[in-house]
């Protein structure tokens, strides 16, 4: 894992030379800046004294620090600043003055209370792109409400469609609302920065809502409702309106997802399960006909899969060129040769020598791939380096690096 250049800006990666300042905690803003760091941007993460990003203490800990932190903060530099003090705000302003992108996920108005809002930062850096991630967006009647990924999933329509019919709506299993907001944030940031770099205009605000980021991925849910009045309901492992496409049990207690939802694939699937008669039935040649008999088709497929172990099911479907996969756990993923061949299982070493596997970099660029330059830093690890880069003298640095008290603003 290579390091950055002399002045802290990476000399490697397609985003080398892009400076990013992060005022973020937990998932949405930090995941967005992690993606930028993976491709060479210099990311400076501002953390509060004493506690830092709460993600440092989330989920499974190793020697007091979250294993997730090593991934979420990889390639970033950590500076400790008390943003409730004038000196801390002064340093933050200096950092913003030389940044290309600021990413934050305060509640709307939070940075303004600290004197670090859009008007203040764009006033000293007109080319700045400010990415603002919040629950409901920077405008609208709900803008001031607190919002987390789970709330975005609920209001954006995802939770309503997730789970078994007639059962309590289910969580996807990860904080997908936050991560979807992160992806939209990266897209918006790069669009806005490209506009500046191409001389087409000045910086601007990229307003990302958790709710809207989820809602944006809800396919044809709204058009269908607006025209037909139909609600897309929970359907378990099935894909409503498309047949056959569902989750099926195998003889060894596993589950396989099979997508036989095109005419040619359907015919191959039916031949593979010994039901060529269904594959050759003219009434099942098109999706509408298969949807009308979906229960019959699912029952036929279930009878076949439930009589065979997973490995045999997958082998026979692969021979028939039918899209299928076992539902993978973490254990399945780390053993899978495809993940290994695609560099999606990076082997790293924590500071104490503990070996760890972390996710690789997505997407894959053929000529300028991303890289993990270092793992999540210690709290304030780069404070001195960053202050020196900003031109602070030793006496000023000593004062700024004194133990500070304070907690992040809402």
Give the residue carrying structure tokens 């409730």.
84
DSSP reduced 3-state for 355: strand
Number of residues that make up the chain: 410
Distance in angstroms (rounded) separating the CA atoms of residues 43 and 101 = 9
- DSSP output for 23-75: E--SSHHHHHHHHHHHTT-EEEEEE-TTT--GGGGSSSEETTEEHHHHHHTTT
**Number of neighbouring beta carbons within 10 Å of residue 45:** 27
- Three-state DSSP class for 263? helix
Alpha-carbon separation of residue 247 from 237, 269, 325, 327 (angstroms)? 5, 14, 10, 9
On the CB side of 37, CA atoms within 13 Å amount to: 32
Round to whole Å and give the CA distance between 266 and 254.
23
Assess contact for 165 and 236: CB atoms under 8 A: yes
Which residues share a beta bridge with 259? 245
What is the CB neighbour count within 10 angstroms for residue 407? 11
> Cα–Cα distance between 308 and 305 in angstroms, integer?
5
Could you list the active site residues? 178
Q: Are 266 and 279 a contacting pair, CB within 8 Å?
A: yes
Q: List, as one string, the DSSP characters of 363-398.
A: S--SSS-----SPPPPTTTTHHHHHHHTT--HHHHH
Query: 3-state class of 345 per DSSP?
Result: strand
């Amino acid at each position: 894992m290579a390091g950055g250049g002399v002045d802290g800006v990476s000399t490697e990666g397609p985003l080398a030379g892009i400076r990013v300042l992060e005022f973020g905690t937990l998932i949405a803003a930090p995941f967005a800046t992690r993606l930028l760091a993976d491709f060479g941007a210099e990311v400076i993460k501002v953390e509060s004294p004493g506690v830092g990003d709460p993600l440092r203490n989330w989920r499974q800990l190793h020697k007091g620090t979250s294993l997730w932190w090593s991934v979420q903060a990889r390639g970033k530099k950590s500076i400790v600043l008390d943003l409730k003090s004038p000196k801390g705000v002064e340093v933050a302003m200096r950092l913003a003055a030389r940044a290309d992108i600021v990413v934050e996920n305060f509640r709307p108005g939070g940075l303004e209370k600290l004197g670090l809002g859009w008007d203040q930062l764009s006033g000293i850096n007109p080319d700045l792109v400010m990415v603002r991630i919040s629950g409901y967006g920077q405008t609208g009647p709900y803008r001031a409400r607190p919002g987390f990924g789970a709330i975005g999933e609920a209001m954006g329509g995802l939770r309503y469609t997730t789970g078994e019919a007639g059962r309590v709506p289910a969580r996807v299993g990860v904080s997908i609302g936050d991560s979807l907001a992160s992806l939209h944030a990266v897209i918006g940031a790069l669009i806005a920065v490209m506009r500046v770099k191409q001389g087409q205009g000045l910086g601007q605000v990229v307003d990302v809502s958790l709710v809207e980021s989820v809602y944006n991925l809800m396919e044809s849910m709204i058009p269908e409702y607006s025209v037909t009045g139909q609600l897309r309901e929970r359907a378990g492992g099935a894909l409503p309106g498309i047949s056959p496409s569902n989750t099926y049990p195998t003889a060894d207690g596993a589950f396989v997802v099979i997508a036989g939802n095109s005419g040619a694939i359907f015919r191959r699937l039916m031949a593979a399960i010994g039901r060529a008669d269904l594959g050759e039935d003219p009434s099942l040649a098109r999706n509408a006909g298969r949807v009308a008999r979906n229960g019959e088709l699912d029952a036929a497929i279930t009878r076949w899969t439930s009589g065979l172990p997973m490995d045999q099911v997958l082998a026979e479907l692969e021979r028939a060129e039918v899209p299928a996969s076992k539902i993978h756990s973490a254990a399945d993923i780390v053993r899978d040769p495809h993940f290994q061949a695609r560099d999606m299982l990076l082997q790293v070493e924590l500071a104490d020598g503990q070996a760890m596997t972390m996710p690789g970099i997505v997407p894959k660029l053929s000529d300028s791939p991303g890289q993990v330059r270092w793992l999540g830093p210690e709290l304030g690890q780069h404070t001195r380096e960053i202050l020196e880069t900003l031109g602070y003298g030793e006496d000023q640095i000593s004062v700024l690096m004194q133990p500070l008290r304070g907690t992040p603003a809402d």
